[in-house]
Amino acid sequence: MKAKVVIVGGGVMGVAIAWHCARRADPLAEPIVLLEKKALAAGASGRSGAILRQHYSDRVVAAMARDSLHVYSALERATGRSIGFQRTGVLTLAGPSKPDEIVLIERNVAMQREIGIVTRLVGAREIRRLVPGIAVDEGAVGAYEEGGGGVDPVLTVRAFAALAREHGAVTRIGTACTGLIVRKGRAIGVRTEDGDIEAEQIVIAAGPWTKRFLARAGVDVPLRVVRPEQHFLAMPAGVAGDSPSRAASTIEDRSQAQVSEAPSPARAFDGPSIEGMLDDRLGSTESELAPAAHPVLLDLEHGLYMRCESHASELGLPAPRTRVGRMDHSQDREIADPDELDETVSAEFERWARDSLVRRMPVYRARESVGSIVGLYNMSPDAQALIGPLPELAGVFLVSGFSGHGFKLAPSIGEGVAQMLWGEPVSAFDTEFFSPDRFEKGAARWGRAFGL
Ligand SMILES: Cc1cc2nc3c(=O)[nH]c(=O)nc-3n(C[C@H](O)[C@H](O)[C@H](O)COP(=O)(O)OP(=O)(O)OC[C@H]3O[C@@H](n4cnc5c(N)ncnc54)[C@H](O)[C@@H]3O)c2cc1C
């Protein structure tokens, strides 16, 4: 078989890339072939919190999160496929005990508003209105994105794969890629358990398996895999404050002066009005899922994040539940082989998760624990992905190292990678920013957990 592009990996990146490539390819003459060794979303994607936030410190990534959120929010209505989209709002929160974090949030919000992201600074009083029952001190500052929320990661991966197939892509699920076929210094195809496939381009989107896979071809990529733990509590009912659609767009407290200096999104954004698109879509894509008890919280002060999840879990966790994870993954154990994942979650982590959650949201005090999971973060040195042709081996295109925050970016990644492979002008992201050889060139950036 001969393919235009072979994609290794059926996580959210592989299927998003397959979808966008298939839209450009001739399925008879030069098909797009995706290989997934186990099941769609069997890797990091199926365990993901799938939080859709736009709060980033880097303009490049914030813009991708903005554009991808548009796709996620419109997908159900446009395609009729459910992805479990929930627009809950997202609050990134800093407390007075960490003034540096407050400065960061203020700077980020100003930058994000310049590029048309609908976000605003909120002070303690407004935070309590948005999230009744939350414990915040006077002087706390948050960034509130009313358009953010989350999706069901497994449904989303399946939906992208189905869209790819509708455009003629071949998805071989349960077929492992066992190696690369290299001739005269160029990869010209892949070996699989079911035979060889010739390909013009081979995209490695194998998530945490990428480093080991490429090592077998003699290529060392600067990635390492860590194993974060996640704990779940039963979601309480009805603590939600103003829903995103009802939330006022006023800016209050001490934040007002800074924010009012920022250009308005309508003026700064080069394209259709995002605010208008949000108004049009608010509430229109919410499924019958139980409403979230409160917005997603990214708590920089106590170092945790939490998301109310109403969708069924492939991992057997009862819904609705609230996911709690740690922002700092420096304590997470590094693992050599993702196929040997130790699924044990420590009692110490579960205690920390419950205590930290209750400290911020006392309403959880009596909520029962409903399970825990471990995940896989595929870390790059600066916590941003590596995307582009592999300098060491022609014919191979790397899309990996999303460092625990890639799910929300997948629509932009799919589009941008397809643009790169087809030699089109790349509008979806800045290719230099993600260049796999940026570390050798000394162009590595400041890297902070989750790009925050
Ligand atoms: C616990 C957790 C919470 C997260 N929360 C968020 C969040 O809230 N928001 C957010 O934006 N991001 C989040 N992320 C990050 C996000 O989920 C990942 O960045 C994203 O899922 C990575 O997708 P991927 O396709 O690169 O990798 P994966 O989903 O790991 O996919 C790789 C696939 O490749 C397959 N594969 C490997 N080797 C081969 C081979 N040789 N042949 C064929 N197939 C192969 C694997 O089986 C796997 O299915 C979270 C991640 C975790 C683990």
Distance (Å, rounded) from C-alpha 278 to C-alpha 79? 18
What pLDDT does residue 239 have? 58
The amino acid at 6: V
What pLDDT does residue 242 have? 52
pLDDT at residue 262 is higher than 80: no
Quote the ligand 1 centre to 198 CA distance (angstroms): 25
Quote the ligand 1 centre to 44 CA distance (angstroms): 3
Distance (Å, rounded) from C-alpha 407 to C-alpha 405? 6
Quote the ligand 1 centre to 343 CA distance (angstroms): 16
The answer to whether the bond into 338 is cis (omega within 30° of 0) is no
pLDDT at residue 244 is higher than 60: no
DSSP classification of residue 430 = -
Tell me the two tokens of residue 49.
Answer: 């919190």
pLDDT at residue 392 is higher than 70: yes
Quote the ligand 1 centre to 233 CA distance (angstroms): 23
Which of these ranges, 65-79, 268-282, 304-318, 361-375, has the smallest mean pLDDT? 268-282
Q: pLDDT digits over 351-376, tens only? A: 999 999 999 999 999 999 999 999 99
User: Model pTM?
Assistant: 0.91
Quote the ligand 1 centre to 98 CA distance (angstroms): 32
What pLDDT does residue 238 have? 64
Q: Which protein residues are within 6 Å of ligand 1, measured from CB? A: 8-14, 35-38, 42-45, 47-51, 176-177, 205-209, 213, 228, 230, 375-377, 402, 404-408
Quote the ligand 1 centre to 47 CA distance (angstroms): 8
What pLDDT does residue 251 have? 30
**Mean pLDDT throughout 27-50?**
97
Dihedral, 56, 60, 65, 66 alpha carbons, nearest 10: 110
pLDDT at residue 280 is higher than 80: no
Q: pLDDT digits over 305-326, tens only? A: 999 999 999 889 999 999 999 9
Q: Which residue has the higher pLDDT, 276 or 117?
A: 117
What pLDDT does residue 287 have? 60
Residues 6+ apart with CB under 8 A from 156: 12, 50, 72, 83, 84, 407, 410
What pLDDT does residue 448 have? 78
What pLDDT does residue 241 have? 53
Quote the ligand 1 centre to 160 CA distance (angstroms): 14
Quote the ligand 1 centre to 211 CA distance (angstroms): 13
Q: Atom 34, ligand 1: which residue's CA is nearest?
A: 9
Please classify residue 342 by burial: count the beta carbons closer than 10 Å to its beta carbon, then call 0-12 exposed, 13-18 middle and 19+ buried.
exposed
Q: Which of ligand 1's atoms lies nearest the C-alpha of 307?
A: 8
What pLDDT does residue 246 have? 37
**Count of helix runs (H) and strand runs (E) in the chain:** 11, 21
Q: Which of ligand 1's atoms lies nearest the C-alpha of 45?
A: 21
Name the residue with tokens 């209505």. Answer: 77
What pLDDT does residue 1 have? 87
Positions of E strands within 155-291:
170-173, 177-183, 186-192, 195-204, 224-227, 229-234
Q: Atom 5, ligand 1: which residue's CA is nearest?
A: 49
Q: How confident is the model at residue 440 (pLDDT cuts 50, 70, 90)?
A: confident
Q: Atom 25, ligand 1: which residue's CA is nearest?
A: 11
User: Ligand 1 pocket: which of 398, 405, 413 to mutate (most atoms <8 Å of CB)?
Assistant: 405
Partners of residue 42 on adjacent β-strands = none
User: Ligand 1 pocket: which of 7, 17, 37, 327 to mutate (most atoms <8 Å of CB)?
Assistant: 37
What pLDDT does residue 271 have? 28
Q: Is the dihedral of CA 314, 8, 16, 92 positive or negative?
A: positive
User: Ligand 1 pocket: which of 33, 48, 145 to mutate (most atoms <8 Å of CB)?
Assistant: 48
pLDDT at residue 83 is higher than 80: yes
Quote the ligand 1 centre to 408 CA distance (angstroms): 12
pLDDT at residue 264 is higher than 90: no
Specify the pairing of strand 186-192 against strand 229-234.
unpaired
Quote the ligand 1 centre to 258 CA distance (angstroms): 38
pLDDT at residue 72 is higher than 80: yes
